[in-house]
Each structure stands twice: as structure tokens, then as C-alpha cells.
Amino acid sequence: MSVSASGHDLSPLDSAERERLAAGLSPEERRVLLDHGTERPFCGGLLDNKQGGTYQCRLCALPLFKSDHKFDSGTGWPSFFAPFDAEHVREIRDQSHGMIRIEIRCARCDSHLGHVFPDGPRPTGLRYCLNSIAMEFVSS
């Protein structure tokens, strides 16, 4: 079993478990999480959330981001300057749509979350730009 520094199981899901979890997703959730889609800007339900808590993967519930790392980037998607635990978010070079970006995926279930850009605030200078539909919010 692979465990992150914050104590969460990062063992990859087998295909049967991933499909079991995906069976409960809406068509739009499947399009974003499994087919690497993007929700329209300024439409996501978590964009304006100001409550304290944790944002977790909609598919496997791995904690991804903390509310105190969230900021208003003005881009139309929830944005964070750091993940809950760096081991919980996997980065992949994305050359789709005629540009080079860094896609971010859940480290446990490999669901598409969004992208990370080098134009965020201090202290990291990073902007993790997430699809609201890829996450669930758990208040603290």
C-alpha cells in the first residue's frame, strides 16, 4: 500500500473499483473526470464557495485542496495556490488544443481535475485551476 505524507492511501484503484465509483457519476461528471473535459467558466458550483473545509476528488474522495489555499483568480474556475498534499495531485504534460499545459489528475484514481499554471499568488506562484464538478466539498 502506498501512503502519502499526510497519511492517505494512494494505492491506484483497479479498473473494477474505478468503474463501480464511476457508475454514480452524471454524464457531465463523466465527461470531465474520465474524458478530460472542462466545464464552462463561471458555472461551477464551488467557484464562489467561501466556507472552511476540504475539497476532495469527486470519484474517490481523496483530499485535494484546503479552503485556506483557495483564491479568486478571476478565471471562472476555483483556484488554489497549493494542494492538500503534493502527493495527491499528479502532473502530466498536456499538448492538446494547440498549447502546452500541465494537466492535474487525482493521484489515486487518475481522474482529470484541471490544470496548473505558473501565474498564481505567493507563496507558491502557482494557480491550480480546477473544475468544480471534479470535486466535492467537505466543510470543517
57, 106, 109, 129: the catalytic one is 129
> What residues are paired with 135 via a beta bridge?
57
SS (H, E, C) 13-46: CCHHHHHHHHCCCCHHHHHHHCCCCCCCCCCCCC
* Residue 38 half-sphere exposure toward CB, CA atoms < 13 A: 15
Please provide the size of the chain in residues. Answer: 140
129 is catalytic: yes
- Catalytic positions, written as ranges: 129
